[in-house]
Structures are given as C-alpha cells and as structure tokens.
Amino acid sequence: MKDKIAYITGGSKGIGFGIAEAILKEGGKVAITSRSLTSSEKAAKELKERTGNEAVLPIEADVRILESQNAAVNRVLSTWGRIDVVVANAGLGHFGSIEELSLDQWNETIDTNLTGVFNTIKSSLVSLKESKGFFITISSLAGTNFFAGGAAYNASKFGLTGFTQAVMLDLRKYGIRVSTIMPGSVATYFNGHTPSASDDWKIQIEDIGEMVVNLVKLNPRTLPSKIEVRPSVPPSA
C-alpha cells in the first residue's frame, strides 16, 4: 500500500474514516470527502495525529452531484497525479413503513447510496484505467436481506450490490478490480447512533479498513468480487 493513492467518499467518519486510517498506517495517501469541509478537515487532522502520516487531503464534495465528484477527483489528480483506489463509501439511511416514507427521504436515499456511487465511478474511471486500480463499494447485508421498514434502504443497497457486480464485469478487461463489501452491524455513527461499549460485539471500523487493505494487497490475478461480513457472535446467538 505504500504511496498508493486512495479516494474515499464519506471519509470523515465511520467506515470511511476507518478505511482511511488503515491505508495511512500502511504508508498510503488518502483523499477524504464530506459534504462539510469543516468535517473533512477535522477528520484529516485526527487521521494525521493517529497515524503520523501527513498525506491526507480533505475535500468538500457531494456524491449526489456528478460535477461535484468531477471536481473532487480533479483535486486529487492535481495534488498527487493519479488515483489507485476508489472507495465509494458515502451513504445514509431513512427507515420506516412505506406508509410513512416520504418522497424526499426516498430520493435522498437513492440519490446518495446508489446514484452517488454511479457518479463516483464515472468521475474516476479514466484515472482507474490509467492506474489499473481498484474500485470498492460499501454495500450492506441489507443489499441481500430485506426487512420491514427498509424499503428505501433495501432498494438502494440491493441496487448497489447489483450495480457493483455489473461494473466489475464491465471493467475487468481494463485491469480494474471491482469489489463490494457488505457489512452487517458496524459500530458507527450511522443513523444518529453514538458508538459505545455496548457495541463491542459489532464489526469495528478498523476491521473494514483492514479488509480493504487486504483486498488491495491481494495478487491482482484473484478478485473477491462480493464479500459478506458479519459479527462473529451477535448478542442473540
């Protein structure tokens, strides 16, 4: 991973932050985005302090807007010249019965979790072709297991899982590896949750970070194209 350049959407907290930290600890460089420049700058400062690696580029960008993703990718290229790894991590969730789900909640979920990933790969595709890089999406077990109150979230993640697998088939002829990681319960700030000791049984963000690093380091002849990951022993087990 040394000197590899990674672009991570939604990298200011949660899973994206954990992935950025893991790459930095391996000697890589990371650009992280947030819709808030303040958030991305705060995360960049913390990442530098935690890893001792100064190669962190904070960017304000919105995955829902293709032009915003184009500008973010161009910022990375103007800073470091190439992109080796793209992690489409930015996501959100609105939950509730279809009776309660609003059109705005539906649109925000689909636009962020699905269209946002489309925008991310479209903006970075030329760079990944040049580097024969790696494109990784963060889906969810909700992309294969549906549940009541999950109409918008399930639709976005089922779509993301299928989208990623189709993109994998489209791009492998260019030497680009594409994979999706589908975590179960992760200890993050997702949906307003604040991680605490009660989340110790869950997947930790550093676990996903380690998984991304291992994916990139794997011999290019081999591709784990879809990875389901769960807590080993949930409380109900």
Which CATH number does the domain housing residue 188 bear?
3.40.50.720
3-state secondary structure of 181: strand
| pLDDT score of 141 | 94
Answer yes or no: is 92 within a domain. Answer: yes
Is residue 234 one of the residues assigned to a domain?
no
Is residue 98 domain-resident? yes
Question: Is residue 235, in this structure, part of any structural domain at all?
Answer: no
Write down the pLDDT at residue 237: 57
Query: Does some domain include residue 236?
Result: no
> Is 204 domain-assigned?
yes
94: closest CA among 191, 229, 164, 234? Answer: 191
Looking at residue 201, its pLDDT comes to 87
Decide if 75 is inside a domain: yes
Q: Which domain holds residue 85?
A: 5-229
Strands 134-138 and 85-88: parallel
pLDDT at 191: 64
CA distances from 19 to 2, 192, 204 (A): 15, 20, 11
- Residue 237 domain flag: no
- What pLDDT score does 43 carry? 97
How many domains does the structure of the chain reveal?
1
Residue positions annotated with a catalytic role: 153
- pLDDT at position 1 is 85
What is the predicted pLDDT for the residue at 156?
A: 97
Q: How many Å separate Cα 114 from the centre of its chain?
A: 12
| pLDDT tens sequence for the chain (237 residues) | 899 999 999 999 999 999 999 999 999 999 999 999 999 999 999 999 999 999 999 999 999 999 999 999 999 999 999 999 999 999 999 999 999 999 999 999 999 999 999 999 999 999 999 999 999 999 999 999 999 999 999 999 999 999 999 999 999 999 999 999 999 989 876 766 677 788 888 989 999 999 999 999 999 999 999 999 999 988 875
Give the CB-side neighbour count of residue 150, counting CA atoms within 13 A. 15
What is this structure's pTM?
Answer: 0.94
